[in-house]
Amino acid sequence: MKNLKLIILFIAITSISCAQKSPRMQANGIIDGVKIDIDYGAPSVRGRVIWGELVPYGKVWRAGANENTTITFGKDVIINGNNLPAAKYGFFIIPNENGDWTVVFNKKNDAWGSMKYNQEEDALRVNVSPTFVDKNIEQMNFSVSETSIDFAWEKVRLSIPITNK
């Protein structure tokens, strides 16, 4: 009985200490008849400077934590006037200190982070204008609205307009 209690205690402590600080999250929705699923690791600000430090300007970032963020489109879509076939994509963001940011839909959707990112695998790159707000969003999140995929973290918001092809 004593050994059983020790085993249970060990498992509980191991589970707590191994839990990811950036849990996997999902956002789902339908835009113009297209089913959209987003799977991402949701990091928190935790007092850090995000843009320009944790996430460098001008560099490809996996748009989340741990495994790649993925976005799955159930049908072909149009994003900023560009066609994107129905598929599951790795999703990346290139933040810039000034001007538009670039969002990337990459054919490789199973990488860990952006270290093995290959621009030749890009299915689509589009520029979007970031919105800077006063209210801080502690935990990064994605959502699917009636017309767009929306990203929010720290004081930055991105809205990516989507229509059915």
At residue 164, the 3 state secondary structure works out as strand
pLDDT at 101: 99
3-state secondary structure 120-149: HHEEEEEEECCEEEEEEEEEEEEEECCCEE
Q: What is the DSSP letter of 8?
A: H
What residue ranges do the domains of the chain occupy? 20-164
Confidence at residue 144, expressed as pLDDT on a 0 to 100 scale: 99
pLDDT confidence bin for 5, thresholds 50/70/90: low
Instruction: Indicate whether 147 pLDDT > 70.
Output: yes
What pLDDT is stored for residue 61 in this prediction?
97
- Average per-residue pLDDT in the chain? 91
What pTM value is reported for the model?
0.86
Rg of the chain, C-alpha, whole Å: 18
Task: Over range 32-61, report the average pLDDT.
Answer: 97
By CB neighbour count within 10 A (0-12 exposed, 13-18 middle, 19+ buried), where does 25 fall?
middle
